[in-house]
A and B are shown apart, each in its own frame.
Chain A
Amino acid sequence: GAVVSQHPSWVICKSGTSVKIECRSLDFQATTMFWYRQFPKQSLMLMATSNEGSKATYEQGVEKDKFLINHASLTLSTLTVTSAHPEDSSFYICSARPGLAEVSSTDTQYFGPGTRLTVL
């Protein structure tokens, strides 16, 4: 249980285009999802917290107009990198926490496999 998927697993795009990354909780409902960014050989940095049906909360230094987050349902959150540039190239990882009503509910986050974005 507690499986999180991401799509696509990798994407290459041209500079100036927008890219959408999906994060799904497959066997549980997640009221809260999180988006992280990981640079090569570095740790994960929390970008934003996404709550179903409300606006995302962004961490300091993260441009909310550049990284658009939508959490339209209890099992899906999307991250759109708008007008991507080479410096946006990174490994983007989402995580989800089961809601209180879920059998698997804990205070832990379950992570997706990540999406590698390369902007040319």
Chain B
Amino acid sequence: GEDVEQSLFLSVREGDSSVINCTYTDSSSTYLYWYKQEPGAGLQLLTYIFSNMDMKQDQRLTVLLNKKDKHLSLRIADTQTGDSAIYFCAESKNGNTDKLIFGTGTRLQVFP
């Protein structure tokens, strides 16, 4: 199938690290993405990783890819209240970046 799955909800204390997990099914995905959606808004591209990479770091964001297990994670260091949003992972179907299959989204709630 084309399911991309994520846990629905994550709650963390401000200053802690957040880890959002995603599992996907298409082993031929070329790119895997993380998007952030704030309430009532569109999607903001946070980062993406090419499928031949294991890890990518961008400031507070670290993406880990386990291609064998088809598992993708996004770690946010020093989580802030402004990080509260819904986070979507997405895979490019069959390596075609025109066909993004989105996960169900993880709502991150950061409390003081």
What chain B residues lie within 8 Å of A41 (beta carbons)? 105
Which of A14-22, A62-70, A109-117 contacts the other chain? A109-117
| Residue of B40, B42, B48 touching A108 (CB-CB under 8 A) | B48
How many Å from the CB of B10 to the closest CB on chain A?
A: 15
Which of the four size classes fits the interface of chain B?
20 to 34
Chain A contact surface mostly: strand
Q: How far is the CA of A34 from the CA of B42 in the complex (A)?
A: 13
Interface size on A, residues (CB 8 A): 23
Contacts A46-B99, A49-B98, A107-B97 given; indicate if A113 touches B104 (C-beta within 8 A).
no
Between A and B, 28 residue pairs with Cβ closer than 8 Å are A32-B98, A41-B105, A42-B105, A43-B88, A43-B103, A43-B104, A44-B43, A44-B88, A44-B100, A44-B102, A46-B99, A46-B100, A93-B42, A93-B43, A97-B98, A107-B31, A107-B92, A108-B31, A108-B33, A108-B45, A108-B48, A109-B45, A109-B97, A109-B100, A110-B45, A113-B41, A114-B40, A114-B42
